[in-house]
Amino acid sequence: MCSKIALLSFFLVAGCSGPQQEVEIPFEIRFGESPLTCASSIEGVTLTDLRFYVHDIRLVTADREERDLTPVDDPLWQSAEVALLDFESGEGRCTNGTEQVNNVVRGLIPPGDYVALKFRIGVPEHLNHADPLRADAPLNYSFMHWHWLTGYKFLRAGVAGEDDGFWIHLGSSHCERTSAGTTVCHAQNRPSVTLSPYVPGRDVVKLDLRELVSGIDLYDGTPSDCSSGPAETECQMPFAALGIDFHTGDTVATPTVFRVGLRE
Amino acid sequence: MTRLRNAVAITLAAIAFAARDYEWSLPDGIPLPVVPADNPMSREKVTLGRHLFYDKRLSVNGATSCATCHVQELAFTDGRARAVGATGEVHPRGSMTLVNAAWSGKLTWANHLVDTLEAQALIPMFGEQPIEMGMAGRESTFTRLLSQDDYYRRAFRNAFPDDSDPYSVLNAVRSLASFVRTIVSFDSPYDRFQRGDAAALTDGQVRGMDLFFSERLECFHCHGGFNFTDSTTHANVLVQSVGFHNNGLYNIGATGEYPPDNTGLYDLTGERRDMGRFKAPTLRNVAVTAPYMHDGSIGSLSEAIEHYARGGRLITDGPYAGDGSRNPYRSEFVRGFELSEQERSDLIAFVEALTDESVLVDPQYSNPF
């Protein structure tokens, strides 16, 4: 309810817990320094897929106070708890994609002097194992559903060369079924990202797919993939780039995949 | 006029009641299956689900329907070692029978998370690893067909009269699951013998039955109960039985390893003790569901019995070399046994007596198009 009032009255409003301002967190996709798309190649590499959820988004003030950024409702991309970013346009090599793209998270936060950004990749645990056919956007897209693990793909990304390529489906793994009929996954695989300095309005989050596939040979003619399974050795390098321990699923390092750039 | 209207209303109410009050036709002693509270059985859903089951338009390229991999004459399997999806991708595993799936506590070969047919149906429809029906990201194409096709326009409205927009993936899945729940088979020679028809089994088959249920062979520990699998549930069950077993098919490198694309329950849990653990499928109609095992790597009933007699499979060379009988995760019930030639043929004769010819030809499960 808060967010709807805020949207109507735009930018600065008196919300439920004091005044709120709307903030945009834009994302850009890079391969090294260059933009990467479905229809153009950089270093012989083209985008085939990039869609991921973010949640638990916070901005940090100069005196290190963390404040929640609440995504505003959006019929396609956001609910109050989770947002979907989608960089594949269905063109070129993105053969199983959709035309719609989304490169920004929009949320409400109290006004302040913010200097850093934190967020997590993935779907919050309490939403991850609910019936996806009854979910609202952005949790209602079958391309993000992971039915065999009764959860969601948190991130799906892929690149392709001429006769080679790599894709990753990241999601919670090492799962058990409780006697109550719910799923509990021991490896949560939700990367935790901290970007500092990050100034909202001035800065953009750059996601570098070259970092994600560092350690994967994209030129040896042997395509490979990772779907977060315990025996998949191809997962180890991309998991490291996402700052996750491949065996426990815990965040153990700062992901190298994300960095801050100036908004153009 | 008022009276007439009331009469119409009463008649409609009666029809609606009848529609919701689905009648199971089960032999004495067979408990009702579990039906999810939010998807009660109805004849409308079953008929609709049967159409969806056989409709190739519901795959990415119009190449496959559910029935492509689940062929009635083969007890709803496909005769292949490994299933092939709409785009030609080969599945790591073979198509499982759908007969009596309503009583299956867990669905697919090795997945302890998927315990309803509604949840299972989504895997072939939308799964990407491997691609089966290939509909991931295409749910709007799917629902558009449902809302535009003459038959589906009527059938969805009839099956889901309370929904303002009944043309949803959710309702399609509810209907498919309802249809699959009706594929019931309890009329094999074995069943008739159990019901008192002493002539239904030959003497050899009776001897084979005794062997099957003996502690010497141990078959029934995993393939026991009214549905010949320990992964069975029903409406009156209090404690859920969940059976997944390593039966010694592989032991790569003597470390217990299975082929990397088929590690069984380990793939989901990451626990070493789950390496190579797969569900014991029902043995009903097993004589028509060759080849056997999750990867179709055993061709005949005779070879399957040979496998269990040895207590695991010895693969002497190649990338999967290893002695499965020494797999450290092997089930304690796969211990090996010796059989005379007569006993072997008796055992096969008994397993063949689990075939219910009627389910293979019953028109209510056949292609409606």
**A-chain residues within 8 Å CB-CB of B263?**
230-231
CATH number for region B2-184+358-365: 1.10.760.10
Cβ within 8 Å of residue B310, ≥6 positions away: B325, B336
Residue B135 touches chain A, beta carbons under 8 Å: yes
pLDDT confidence of residue A17: 63
Question: What are the structural domain ranges in chain B?
Answer: 2-184+358-365, 189-357
Query: With 70 as the cut, is the pLDDT of residue B19 above it?
Result: no
pLDDT, average across residues A173-193? 92
Q: Across the interface, which of B112, B129, B169 has its CB nearest the CB of A227? A: B129
Domain spans of chain A, in order of start: 25-262
Question: What is the pTM assigned to this prediction?
Answer: 0.91
What's the pLDDT tens digit per position in A67-81? 999 999 999 999 999
Over residues B89-109, the pLDDT tens digits come to 999 999 999 999 999 999 999
CB proximity list for A15: less than 8 A, separation 6 or greater: A2, A5, A6, A108
- Contact between A231 and B137 using a beta-carbon 8 Å cutoff: no
Query: Closest by alpha carbon to B99, among B7, B188, B11, B181?
Result: B181
Which residue of chain B has the CA closest to A171?
B268
pLDDT tens for each residue of B159-180: 999 999 999 999 999 999 999 9
B113, B115, B170: residue with CB nearest A149: B113
Instruction: Say what the ipTM of the complex is.
Output: 0.86
A174 close contact with B: CB closer than 8 A:
yes
CA separation for the pair B230, B175 (Å, rounded): 27
**Residue B129: closest C-alpha in chain A:** A227
pLDDT, tens digit, 9 for 90 and up, residues B336-348? 999 999 999 999 9
CA Rg value for chain A:
18
Give the minimum alpha-carbon distance from A16 to chain B in angstroms, rounded to a whole number. Answer: 35
Q: Determine, for residues A150 and B114 on separate chains, whether the beta-carbon distance falls below 8 Å.
A: yes
Beta strand A46-61 pairing with A82-86: antiparallel
Helix (H) or strand (E) holding B359: helix B357-361
- What's the gap in Å between the CA of B112 and the closest CA on chain A? 6
Q: How far does A110 lie from chain B, in Å, by closest CA? A: 37
CATH number, span B189-357: 1.10.760.10
**Nearest Cα residue in chain B from A149:** B113
Which residues in chain B are closer than 8 Å to A179, comparing Cβ atoms? 240
Q: Contact at 8 Å (CB) between B354 and B190?
A: yes
Q: Do A147 and B112 touch (CB under 8 A)?
A: no
